[in-house]
Amino acid sequence: MPVIAVIGAQWGDEGKGKVVDLLAQKARVVVRFSGGDNAGHTVVNPYGEFRLHLIPSGIFSSQVVCIIGNGVVINPAVLIDEIDQLNQRGVDTSRLFISDRANLVMPYHILLDGLEEESRAGKALGTTRRGIGPAFADKVARLGIRTGDLLDKEVLMERLRLILDGKNIILTKIYGVSPLSLDEVYSQYCQYGERLAPYIRETTIMLEEALNREELVLLEGAQGALLDPDFGTYPYTTSSSPLVGGGCVGAGLGPTRISRILGVFKAYCTRVGSGPMPTELKDETGDLIRERAHEYGTTTGRPRRCGWFDAVAARFSTRINGFTGAVITRLDILDALPRLKVCVGYELDGKTINYFPSSVAALDKCQPIYEELPGWQAPTNHIRDYEQLPVEARQYIARLEELTSCPVNLICVGPEREQTIHKMPIL
Ligand code: IMP
């Protein structure tokens, strides 16, 4: 059995949680491979409605082993709270495992995320302030503390003493705020360690064993390709790779193991936080989409910026991920609109371009070139069969397939598992 990677193809919030929850019904392992609790995966299923930040969305399927991979940064307080909340609502978390190589989000990361954002004044990145950027920065600076370190109190103290001294200098001398107490942070993280110890494992072996047994494995992406630190709208990006390449590194498996790469696209675009978004609608159509779809951040509650589907960005995302298929989510949101627009190119300095520029200065100047399509103005959320969709909706999907050169496997017409049209088999 294969590995299917489920990858955010836009700026995150595409609905990966629903897709993973749906596909997990047939899977044996689901691995989250990047990001941290900046992610907010909304899942609606027979257990209720959930907003997961760290735990893979496969947790609701009783045969699934869920792994938080080495590529995720973990805030232990958030994870423990998430485990407790799931348990209180009758969801079993005994099949959850955490890589012993995952880095931890520490209290100074959260403090510094906020302080750095404030120091950027008008140029703030609009981060989720969950400490994600500082935690990944420390990981590559080799100043991280990992879940495995929680299992040995001496190692934890040694690492913390070394690192916290430097962080306290930054906190006090640069930002003029109070230092953190070594004893307090240490005892807090010792408690977290005791609580999380049963979950912490060498997870790559578990993954290899599942693959050798030919079990279906899902890689669950977080954020989206246009927030990738290399290919996204840098510096308005996140700090770990949401691409399928990040999936190999962040889960601990080789690229040859991955047989399908699903790009998850919303039927329109949204973005939360700062940075360029060429098709953003700052008018009543944008407001209508936001209110109809309740486009507010799952993690921060911020209103999401809404706009038309950007096929230039979508082609770019398809190229850098090698999508074998696409999932179009929230098609039903467009039911109300009489006309739809799709961005098929950009005008930059009087020239037409069909690629996604690397610089935000260029992207800021890009004017979208739109193609108009008729809307269908009929409800679609009860439809399960592709042929039953209004002809205009099928035209819209067909045009997206053409523009992105990516066949559509699934179409979502509502948050529930059943509100899905299986257009083409994934495997
Ligand atoms: P950070 O990842 O918290 O550092 O935030 C950096 C940028 O990524 C900001 O624009 C955030 O709004 C955005 N971002 C981070 N996580 C998500 C997500 O799960 N969905 C959408 N945007 C996100």
Residue ranges making up the domain that contains 63: 3-99+200-261
Which are the contacts of 3, defined by CB distance < 8 A and separation ≥ 6? Answer: 211, 216, 217, 218, 219, 253, 257, 258, 259, 260
77 and 13, same structural domain? yes
Residue 353: beta bridge partners? 346
211 and 74, same structural domain? yes
**Which mutation among 73, 130, 238 tests ligand 1's pocket best, with the greatest number of atoms within 8 A of CB?**
238
Q: What is the mean pLDDT of the chain?
A: 97
**427 is a domain residue:** no
Residue 1 pLDDT grade (very low, low, confident, very high; cuts 50, 70, 90): low
pLDDT in tens, 151-173: 999 999 999 999 999 999 999 99
Which are the contacts of 202, defined by CB distance < 8 A and separation ≥ 6? Answer: 99, 100
410 and 334, same structural domain? yes
pLDDT of residue 121: 85
370 and 276, same structural domain? yes
pLDDT > 90? residue 81: yes
**What percent of the chain is modeled with pLDDT above 70?**
100
pLDDT > 90? residue 298: no
Q: Given 3-state DSSP classes, what are the helix, strand and coil percentages for the chain, each rounded to the nearest 5?
A: 40, 20, 40
One-letter amino acid identity for 194? E
Q: Which residues are catalytic?
A: 13, 41
Rounded Cα gap, residues 129 and 280, in angstroms: 24
Residue nearest to atom 16 of ligand 1 (CA): 38
Averaged over 31-52, what is the pLDDT?
Answer: 96
Rounded Cα gap, residues 187 and 220, in angstroms: 32
| CATH code, 121 | 1.10.300.10
**70 is a domain residue:** yes
245 and 291, same structural domain? no
pLDDT in tens, 60-71: 999 999 999 999
pLDDT in tens, 187-242: 999 999 999 999 999 999 999 999 999 999 999 999 999 999 999 999 999 999 99
217 and 354, same structural domain? no
The span from the first CA to the last CA of the chain, in angstroms, equals 10
**62 is a domain residue:** yes
Backbone phi, psi, residue 169, to 5°: -65, -45
User: Rounded to the nearest 10 degrees, what angle do helices 391-404 and 311-321 cross at?
Assistant: 50
Which residue in the block uniquely carries the two structure tokens 């990145």?
A: 125
| CATH code, 44 | 3.40.440.10
365 and 315, same structural domain? yes
| Whole-model pTM over 0.85 | yes
| CATH code, 349 | 3.90.170.10
166, 196, 226: which is the final residue of a domain? 196
- Ligand 1 binding pocket, CB closer than 6 Å: 11-13, 38-40, 125-128, 130, 132-133, 222-223, 227, 236, 238-239, 272-273
196, 227, 242: which is the final residue of a domain? 196
pLDDT of residue 7: 98
Distance of CA 15 from the midpoint of ligand 1 (Å): 15
230, 261, 292: which is the final residue of a domain? 261
Give how many domains the chain has, as a whole number.
3
386 and 279, same structural domain? yes
Averaged over 89-115, what is the pLDDT?
Answer: 98
**Which mutation among 223, 226, 237 tests ligand 1's pocket best, with the greatest number of atoms within 8 A of CB?**
223
Residue 178 pLDDT grade (very low, low, confident, very high; cuts 50, 70, 90): very high
Averaged over 307-325, what is the pLDDT?
Answer: 98
**272 is a domain residue:** yes
204 and 63, same structural domain? yes
Contact 415, 331 (CB under 8 A): no
Rounded Cα gap, residues 159 and 254, in angstroms: 31
pLDDT of residue 299: 83
Rounded Cα gap, residues 330 and 247, in angstroms: 25
**297 is a domain residue:** yes
277 and 174, same structural domain? no
77 and 62, same structural domain? yes
Residue 45: beta bridge partners? 48
Exposure class string for 15-43: b at 16+ Cβ within 10 A, else e: bbbbbbbbbbeebbbbbbbbbbbbbbbbb
Which residue in the block uniquely carries the two structure tokens 């495992």?
A: 97
Distance of CA 1 from the midpoint of ligand 1 (Å): 33
pLDDT > 90? residue 45: yes
CA atoms within 13 A on the CB side of 219: 37
pLDDT of residue 122: 86
173 and 113, same structural domain? yes
Which residue in the block uniquely carries the two structure tokens 């890009």?
A: 366
Task: Give the Cα-Cα-Cα angle 397, 402, 407 (nearest 5 degrees).
Answer: 70
